[in-house]
Amino acid sequence: MTQLLQEQKLVQRPDLRLLMSHTLLQMTALELEQRIAQELQDNPALETAEENVCPTCQTVTAGGRCPNCDGWWEGAEGSSLNTWHLPCRTAAEDDEDPMANIAAPLTLHEHLRWQARLEFSGDEFDIACHLIGCLNEDGYLPGDTADIAAQLGREVGEVERVLRRLQTLEPVSVGARDLREALLVQLRDLREQGVGCDLAERIVRSHLTDLAHRRFERMAQQLSVSVEEVAAAAAFIVKNLTPYPGRQFRPPWNVCRHAEPLLARPDVVITRHGDRYEVEVVQPPNAPLRVNGVYRDLHEKMQRHKPSYTDTERQHVARWVGRAELFIEMLRRRQATLRRITTALIALQRDFFDHDGDRAYLKPLTKTQLAQCVGCDASTVSRATSGRFMQIPPCGAVVSFDLFFAAAPDAKNYLRQLVAQEDERQPLSDREIAARLRRAGFEVARRTVTKYRRMLKIPARLHRRREKVLPPPLACV
């Protein structure tokens, strides 16, 4: 009996209630499903509700609408957010379970096509997309560009020019036709970053077979260098280059390069209806939950007729009913918090969503700024968004919440400031801009600067020397 009393007091402690709330908030959809399954197994007073319930307040719906909130959510008090219409799901809509539409991680081809939209336009973009579609899993381009040009009805030189620019995208050297070309492209990229090795380029260009068989003395004699220099160049190649450029790519959430790819399960689904967005927090298939009717009735009866039951019996029922009610309440809070944060995120990054998820329209945003808008702590935003994914319109792509807190937009603003302050008679080259950005703490390469400059519609160095043309400033959050 003493143990039951202690457990009942623990459930009622505010600090433990907060801990449970935080724990559930930082769980992914899959982890939450497993936690609910465990709770259903452990607690006899908890069961899965068969009726359709409101995803906001867990009230049983009537005719597809909630009698409490009537399908409307007003947002956080004191915030400047718009009202977002959130109708309860009907039985027919339950058949379209977002969990069944699990999106695979971003593939190499999708990643390259996204970059190609920034790098190419018009006919060049069409050629680039065709080349990307021809790449194998290692990132190599099989076949001859002459055949590809004939298929597209283009000049071979035009296809070759697009291919050379395609090889500068991430991961570097994708689209190479053989190992030698892939390694040379990677070496050229390293040289542009200031970490090149001339001897390594000479070895790859003319002595690749000798390198594969480690014939250091033979290469040293033919290149008129020492064996030690050849060994150092070989070590540089092994350390910095890869023979399989396509395998260098991995989704941004997959931190382990060699791990098996995982499916990204959306925690939140966003749909667009005209000029408004609807936010739905995905519920696991074993939710929603409710207190078992037998236990609830028994608990109420015991409260009314206490002398008819022993202390142990009352405490046993009260313990499990209280635990079930607490768990359901914490699940409701988790859903409400995720919905509030996502709604605020849509309001702050409206241009991104209005332009079909084009990352060029992302604005600088911190979790602290989002927390201030929602009216909660930054730690709550961090727990709710870390490792989370959302499904966005119009094509149902699944993206990480971390996408909205990336540092890239800040780098774009800094790039624009550098160009605005440069000497018009001696404009900065993309390489010089990249060097200054790195000194400012932004780890970007020269080719990344070129992409950002084109996104901001800033002319190249030669054209900036003739006229000073700058786009309007980026809007601040």
Per-residue pLDDT of the chain (477 residues; tens, 9 = 90+): 343 444 444 444 554 465 566 677 777 776 778 788 888 888 888 888 765 555 555 555 554 555 555 443 333 333 333 333 333 333 344 344 444 444 445 567 777 877 887 788 777 888 888 888 788 878 888 878 888 888 778 888 888 999 999 888 888 888 888 888 989 998 988 888 788 888 888 988 888 888 888 888 889 999 899 988 988 888 888 888 888 888 766 544 443 443 444 456 788 999 998 889 999 988 877 778 888 888 888 888 888 888 888 888 888 888 899 888 988 888 888 889 999 999 999 999 998 899 888 877 888 787 878 888 998 887 788 888 877 888 898 877 888 888 887 555 567 778 888 888 888 888 888 888 988 887 776 767 888 888 888 878 888 887 787 544 445 555 443
Q: What local confidence, expressed as pLDDT, does residue 358 receive?
A: 81
Shared domain for 229 and 344, answered yes or no, is no
Q: What are phi and psi of 306, to 5 degrees?
A: -60, -40
Residue 101 within any structural domain of the chain: no
> How far is 52 from 49, CA to CA, in rounded Å?
8
Residue 355 within any structural domain of the chain: yes
Residue 474 within any structural domain of the chain: no
Q: What local confidence, expressed as pLDDT, does residue 99 receive?
A: 40
Shared domain for 58 and 134, answered yes or no, is no
Whole domain around residue 199: which residue ranges? 108-248
Q: What local confidence, expressed as pLDDT, does residue 277 receive?
A: 93
Number of domains in the chain: 3
Q: What local confidence, expressed as pLDDT, does residue 448 receive?
A: 82
Residue 295 within any structural domain of the chain: no
Shared domain for 444 and 335, answered yes or no, is no
Looking up residue 122, the CATH number of its domain turns out to be 1.10.10.1330
Residue 318 within any structural domain of the chain: no
Residue 301 within any structural domain of the chain: no
Q: What local confidence, expressed as pLDDT, does residue 118 receive?
A: 75
Q: What local confidence, expressed as pLDDT, does residue 423 receive?
A: 82
Residue type, 17: R
> How far is 173 from 166, CA to CA, in rounded Å?
8
Which long-range CB contacts under 8 A does 113-122 form with residues at least 24 apart? 114/359, 115/169, 115/170, 115/451, 116/166, 116/169, 118/360, 118/451, 118/454, 118/455, 119/165, 119/166, 119/169, 119/451, 119/454, 120/162, 120/165
H or E element, residue 29: helix 29-42
Q: Using the 3D structure, point to which of 222, 248, 274 is the last residue of a domain.
A: 248
Neighbours of 226 (CB within 10 A): 11
Q: Is the peptide bond before 394 cis (omega within 30 degrees of 0)?
A: yes
Shared domain for 261 and 380, answered yes or no, is yes
Strands (E), 258-305: 268-273, 276-281, 289-291
Q: What local confidence, expressed as pLDDT, does residue 127 receive?
A: 86
Q: Using the 3D structure, point to which of 218, 248, 278 is the last residue of a domain.
A: 248
Q: What local confidence, expressed as pLDDT, does residue 96 receive?
A: 43
